[in-house]
Amino acid sequence: MTDIRYLAPNTLDEAIGAFAAAGSTARILAGGTDLLVQMRSGAVKPGLIVDIKKISEMTTIEETADGTFRVGAAVPGAVLAEHPRFGKVWPGVLEAVNLIGSTQVQGRASAGGNLCNSSPAADSVPALIAAGAIVTIQGPDGRREMPVEKVPAGPGRTNLKPGEILVSFTLPPRPPGSGDAYLRMIPRTEMDIAVVGCGVSLTLKDGVCTAARVGLGAVAPTVLLVEAAAKALVGSKLGDAALNAAASACSAACRPIDDKRGTIAYRTKIAGVLLKRTAAIAAGRAGRN
Amino acid sequence: MAKLHVSTTINGEPMEFLCEPNDTMLDALRGPLGLTGSKEGCASGDCGACSIMLDDRLVCSCLMLSAEAEGCEIRTIEGMAHGEKLHPLQQKFLEMAALQCGICTSGMLVASEALLKKNPQPSEEEVRFWLAGNLCRCTGYDKIVRAVLETAAEMRQARN
């Protein structure tokens, strides 16, 4: 006998009404690749499960005339990969989303779930922070927006208020000469959790970096926006001095833990190494756009 | 709490079943639906032994609530052969001994069929990455990967 309820509403208003009314034991079900594992292990015992995949705004990808992308919070990685344009405009965000789990997990897992699960090592989050993505959140008091980097509050905790649901990501239009990339350090080639993850998005004009953003994962309780690293890149031609300064800024931003995946010293060093490699890929892509 | 009533399509047949809200699709398949070809290995989405197709997309049935099957099209290993006639992948797995204990096999076959539908000419690397979520503790993977590549080549030839 169980006292769990399952709802799959067709509208956001219904979902929020039920989610807010059910209180702290309610859980949102997007792809379920984290929630079902947590339920199985007994870590989470939901009183109400609200499946949001029947709400079209949650599962659609839109590109507007000005080049803005709006990606529903429950869009699975495999669906994002099949979009004819998204991966061309945001290859770094796509490669980060597609690194989450296996082919089977990609059939279900979403960037919204990855963000709300709030793991410091979430692969999609550094790339979304680098992209300058904004999330739309809806709750009992209406809609609001928040930069991605403001969503995680700590491991497993977000800054969403009770009853609020993450609806979508908005990625800004890309100026010409822009590129992004995501790299993670793992000890094997596939199916692992990042020891460090680094997302870089930048814009080049005549070889000079005119804009940059850097996201860094698995080196602090939340994924970080590293403004000092971006500052070191902007105005430079991405030469050794600028890259070394940006790498040092990444290492300086680290507040990691020692665990079985990596030590504090290792993570701190690798953060800088990954910044340089990721920036090089992003710059290569920017040069082709 | 009353059980949920779910109407779905499994291997082309309309099906109805009752489930608890927290039952997984794998629970429903192996329980009330009596389709025990999909296996439970890890129950946490790591091993792929419970792989099924949900609306033409490869997923782990252990990571899906059975209530989510409402109105969906599901295909399982039981729908792979046409009567007595095995799917070319099944035939090739037998011929090339791409299985030992068999626990991973239905998941391997469902995942491999999904790959060949999407990409009829995969490289060895593409096969290995696609099947990274299907664990096998017996074969060392080599025979499985070879069987998938060989089947792909034969299916391409048959089409020409």
Q: What is the pLDDT of residue A1?
A: 45
> Do A115 and A9 fall within a single domain?
yes
A126 within a domain of the structure (yes/no): no
Residues in chain B within 8 Å Cβ distance of A8: 67-68, 70
What CATH number does the domain containing A242 carry? 3.30.390.50
A128 within a domain of the structure (yes/no): no
> Do A37 and A146 fall within a single domain?
yes
A129 within a domain of the structure (yes/no): no
Domains of chain A: total: 2
d(Cα A8, Cα A25) in Å, to the nearest integer? 17
> Do A218 and A261 fall within a single domain?
yes
ipTM entry: 0.96
Asked if B24 and A8 come within 8 Å (Cβ–Cβ), the reply is no
d(Cα A228, Cα A250) in Å, to the nearest integer? 8
Nearest to A107 among B24, B43, B57 (CB): B57
To test the contact with chain A by mutation, choose from B65, B117, B125, B130 the residue with the greatest count of A C-beta atoms within 10 A, namely B65
Average pLDDT, integer, range A84-91: 98
Name residues whose C-beta falls within 8 Å of residue A228's C-beta, 6 or more positions apart in sequence.
A249, A252, A253
Asked if B63 and A37 come within 8 Å (Cβ–Cβ), the reply is yes
Full residue range of the structural domain in which residue A79 is found: 5-119+134-171
> Do A143 and A192 fall within a single domain?
no
> Do A29 and A60 fall within a single domain?
yes
Instruction: Please list the pLDDT of chain B residue by residue as tens digits (160 residues).
Output: 679 999 999 999 999 999 999 999 999 999 999 999 999 999 999 999 999 999 999 999 999 999 999 999 999 999 999 999 999 999 999 999 999 999 999 999 999 999 999 999 999 999 999 999 999 999 999 999 999 999 999 999 998 8
SS3 A55: coil
Is A2 a residue whose pLDDT tops 80?
no
Q: How many CB pairs under 8 A join A and B?
A: 95
Residues in chain A within 8 Å Cβ distance of B115: 103
> Do A164 and A215 fall within a single domain?
no
Domains along the sequence of chain B with CATH = 4-79 (3.10.20.30), 88-159 (1.10.150.120)
Rounded to the nearest angstrom, the minimum Cα separation between B29 and chain A is: 17
What CATH number does the domain containing A27 carry? 3.30.465.10
Rounded to the nearest angstrom, the minimum Cα separation between B94 and chain A is: 24
d(Cα A282, Cα A243) in Å, to the nearest integer? 13
Rounded to the nearest angstrom, the minimum Cα separation between A60 and chain B is: 16
Task: Decide: A193 and A261 in contact? Cβ < 8 Å.
Answer: yes
Band (A134; pLDDT cuts 50, 70, 90): very high
Closest listed residue to residue B136, CA positions, set B107, B97, B114, B94? B107
Asked if B133 and A102 come within 8 Å (Cβ–Cβ), the reply is yes
Provide the whole-model pTM.
0.96
Rounded to the nearest angstrom, the minimum Cα separation between B21 and chain A is: 6
Residues in chain B within 8 Å Cβ distance of A5: 1, 21
